[in-house]
Amino acid sequence: MKFHWGHGILVFYIVFVACLVVVVIGSRGFDNSLVTEAYYERDINYQQEYDRRRNSYLLAERPYVAPTEKGLYLIFPAALATNVKGTILLYRPSSRRDDRRITINTVGGEMRLNTKGLKSGRYQAIVEWAQGGVDYYDELDLTVQ
């Protein structure tokens, strides 16, 4: 039996359908959940977030994460280190289930970030904080070992 154009079309069609089946089966295992449940409300209130980001940007010294032997520490500017209130969201881009929200509790302008129970990998610390009636917003990259 000789291979002719009809056989080529059949082989192409079988390979095409097989590829589609593999893509459909692979896509069923993909977690396509939203980054945030309330993204409409967050979008509506973006001006407040923008103002908080601008307040942080205008600081001479901004908060940062410092790795030490004892763990990760969130260090606030020395001039604003007292009476800091707010929350930290440890956001893991690869899995929403690994996110954790922490209330800010500083001692001497710094706070130890408890990383027990966190999977190792890349996180983003979204720090929403206030001091002296001014709101701030910072996003800090960190890696949990």
Distance CA 54, CA 50 (A): 6
Q: Indicate the SS3 state at residue 35.
A: coil
Mean per-residue pLDDT over the chain, rounded: 87
Count of domains in the chain? 2
72 pLDDT higher than 80: yes
Q: Could you give the CA distance from residue 36 to residue 98 in angstroms, rounded to a whole number?
A: 13
Q: How confident is the model at residue 36 (pLDDT cuts 50, 70, 90)?
A: low
Domain ranges, residue 17: 1-28
Asked if residue 50 is part of any domain, the answer here is yes
- Predicted model pTM: 0.71
β-bridge pairing 71-75 and 100-103: unpaired
Hey, which residues does 87 pair with through a beta bridge? 103, 128
Q: Is residue 34 in a domain?
A: no
Among the listed residues 52, 79, 76, the one whose alpha carbon sits nearest the alpha carbon of residue 64: 76
* 70 assigned to some structural domain: yes
